[in-house]
């Protein structure tokens, strides 16, 4: 039977990046993906500077720039009448990027092959092979493959996770569905736009090949109505943000509107004897924060370091991947909840609007927002206690007739904060990890 040190199932940002790092460290790696590349996958392709740095390390930045990837160095965050504009510092090593997955994932796979990884596309993995309680390989349509370690980088529907029975915890339902399209809008400034107008959410940015991508987020409970006449409703939704409408109005659309409706946020048990999960296979969060690709790349780097640190026994490897899983969780909570807040259905409450107004009024607010989105600093640097208290008092004073609603909004924000802190505490207790069963969490 064929045998490798590591078999990685799934060959996009998590899997290809991990395979490259492991191969560079001298491991014999086989990368399997059921898709044939170039291949599209649901995504809006915003990559934070911290993710772009990894693309650079992997030798993939220049090839994707050569294929027309759009650099992003300014952000406009708009919440009804509040606007925050910010520019990335000029001395940052890499800008943000937007490049469609047909281009990015293919370039990553080509880099994996160049690094000596055995890349097999069009190869579906049916499940893992077990020996006693240990994963020892995978079953594919073309036969079994043996491996010292099997990595599931196979996305939200991970077959590796299913085969090993990895449970979900801290799962939360989707707030919105996403509907997006690509427009031949001509040259555009390198600006990402993130917005909320009434109960609609927006994400927009130039992408590769001179195209412009515009996403509309619609509350899940309004999705049925919206989809009844999706084309007209999408156009009307864009009109509620005139600066975005100005860019895409009259521009020819490239392909149909894309829709992402069935999803939820979750963490999954991500390591066990002979296996680990990386990227979306192990954790998925609201995509309006544009974090998944950078997270997948960063996790690939940290997981490869953890695997590399465990030389010797299979037991040492299991310990290292388990430790990595816990560290991944601890570093993920802040953005997990912030992403949920950004993607929360319904219009912004007066309380949230007041907090954002105070950030907009602070000359350093925009720069801090960019640092939070790039995960350089925690969200508490933005949502400081004095700012939250001041916003609460102003809201109570400004809207005396809605005191009850404001108190309810405060309770909602506090409950989210308490949940986050509880998750953080639980992950610190080494043997106290008890995943919340999926049914309880959603
Ligand atoms: C609508 C939407 C918009 C998003 N927008 C952004 C954004 O703007 N910025 C951002 O950073 N993130 C965004 N994300 C999240 C981002 O797309 C994911 O976090 C990222 O793709 C995770 O990469 P991955 O490699 O873990 O998994 P995936 O990209 O899902 O790749 C998994 C791979 O595994 C393969 N596979 C699956 N099962 C098998 C099997 N049985 N055998 C072999 N191969 C298999 C699949 O073919 C696939 O190629 C968005 C997500 C969605 C849904």
DSSP per-residue codes, 71-107: EE-EEEEEETTEEEEEE--TT-SS-EEE--HHHHHHH
pLDDT per position as a tens digit, 192-224: 999 999 999 999 999 999 999 999 999 999 999
> Can you tell me which atom of ligand 1 is nearest the CA of 154?
34
> Across all residues in the chain, what is the average pLDDT?
94
Alpha helical stretches, state H, 145-196: 159-164
Model confidence at 312, pLDDT cuts 50, 70, 90, reads: confident
For atom 22 of ligand 1, which residue has the closest CA? Answer: 280
Question: Is any ligand 1 atom within 6 A of the Cβ of residue 390?
Answer: no
The dihedral of CA 428, 429, 430, 435: what is its sign? Answer: negative
* Centroid of ligand 1 to alpha carbon of 355 (angstroms): 33
Please say if the pLDDT value at position 172 is more than 90: yes
Domains in the chain: boundaries: 2-41+50-68+98-173+264-338, 346-427
pLDDT per position as a tens digit, 403-430: 999 999 999 989 888 888 888 887 766 4
Question: Is any ligand 1 atom within 6 A of the Cβ of residue 159?
Answer: yes
Question: Is any ligand 1 atom within 6 A of the Cβ of residue 178?
Answer: yes
pTM, two decimals, is: 0.95
Please say if the pLDDT value at position 94 is more than 60: yes
User: What is the rounded distance in angstroms from the CA atom of residue 66 to the CA atom of residue 132?
Assistant: 49
Mean pLDDT of 18-26: 98
User: What is the rounded distance in angstroms from the CA atom of residue 436 to the CA atom of residue 291?
Assistant: 24
Into which CATH architecture does domain 2-41+50-68+98-173+264-338 fall? 3-Layer(bba) Sandwich (3.50)
CA 240 to chain centre: 26
Burial of residue 312, with CB atoms counted within 10 A of its CB: 0-12 exposed, 13-18 middle, 19 or more buried: exposed
Mean pLDDT of 139-166: 97
CA 164 to chain centre: 24
Please say if the pLDDT value at position 440 is more than 90: no
> Can you tell me which atom of ligand 1 is nearest the CA of 178?
1
* Centroid of ligand 1 to alpha carbon of 391 (angstroms): 38
Question: Is any ligand 1 atom within 6 A of the Cβ of residue 339?
Answer: no
Mean pLDDT of 284-313: 94
User: Candidates 287, 298, 300, 339: which one to mutate for ligand 1, based on the most atoms within 8 Å of Cβ?
Assistant: 287
* Centroid of ligand 1 to alpha carbon of 81 (angstroms): 34
308: CB partners within 8 A, 6+ apart: 22, 25
Question: Is any ligand 1 atom within 6 A of the Cβ of residue 49?
Answer: no
Mean pLDDT of 265-285: 97
- The pLDDT of residue 441: 34
Question: Is any ligand 1 atom within 6 A of the Cβ of residue 201?
Answer: no
- The pLDDT of residue 220: 96
Tell me whether strands 264-268 and 252-260 are parallel, antiparallel or unpaired.
unpaired
């Amino acid at each position: 039977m064929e045998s490798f040190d590591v078999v990685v199932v799934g060959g996009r940002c998590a899997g290809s990046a991990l395979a490259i790092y492991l191969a560079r460290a001298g491991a014999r790696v086989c990368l399997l993906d059921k898709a044939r590349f170039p291949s599209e996958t649901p995504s809006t392709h915003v990559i934070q500077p911290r993710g772009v740095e990894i693309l650079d390390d992997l030798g993939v930045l220049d090839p994707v720039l050569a294929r027309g990837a759009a650099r992003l160095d300014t952000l406009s965050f708009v919440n009804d009448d509040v606007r925050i504009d910010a520019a990335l510092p000029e001395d940052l090593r890499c800008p943000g990027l937007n490049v469609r997955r047909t281009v990015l994932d293919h370039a990553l796979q080509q880099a994996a092959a160049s690094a000596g990884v055995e890349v097999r596309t069009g190869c579906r993995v049916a499940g893992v092979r077990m020996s006693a309680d240990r994963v020892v390989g995978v079953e594919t349509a073309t036969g079994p493959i043996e491996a010292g370690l099997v990595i599931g980088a196979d996305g939200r529907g991970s077959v590796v996770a299913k085969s090993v029975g990895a449970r979900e915890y801290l799962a939360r339902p989707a707030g919105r569905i996403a509907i997006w399209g690509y427009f031949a809008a001509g040259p555009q400034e390198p600006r990402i736009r993130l917005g909320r107008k009434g109960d609609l959410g927006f994400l927009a940015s130039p992408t590769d090949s001179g195209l412009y991508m515009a996403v509309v987020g619609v509350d899940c409970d309004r999705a049925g109505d919206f989809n009844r006449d999706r084309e007209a409703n999408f156009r009307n939704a864009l009109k509620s943000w005139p600066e975005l409408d100005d860019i895409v109005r009259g521009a020819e659309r490239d392909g149909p509107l894309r829709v992402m409706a069935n999803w939820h946020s979750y963490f999954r048990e991500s390591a066990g004897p002979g296996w680990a999960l990386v990227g979306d296979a192990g954790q998925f969060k609201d995509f309006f924060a544009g974090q998944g690709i950078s997270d997948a790349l960063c996790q690939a780097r940290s997981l490869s370091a953890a695997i590399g640190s465990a030389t010797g026994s299979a037991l040492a490897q299991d310990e290292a991947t388990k430790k990595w899983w816990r560290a991944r969780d601890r570093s993920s909570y802040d953005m997990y909840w912030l992403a949920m807040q950004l993607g929360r259905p319904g219009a912004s409450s007066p309380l949230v609007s007041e907090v954002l107004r105070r950030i907009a009024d602070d000359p350093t607010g925009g720069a801090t927002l960019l640092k939070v989105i790039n995960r350089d600093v925690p969200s508490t640097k933005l949502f400081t206690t004095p700012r939250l208290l001041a916003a609460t008092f102003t809201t109570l004073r400004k809207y005396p007739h809605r005191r009850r609603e404001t108190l309810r909004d405060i309770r909602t924000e506090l409950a989210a904060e308490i949940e986050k802190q509880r998750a953080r505490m639980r992950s610190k207790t080494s043997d106290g990890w008890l995943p919340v069963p999926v049914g309880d969490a959603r």
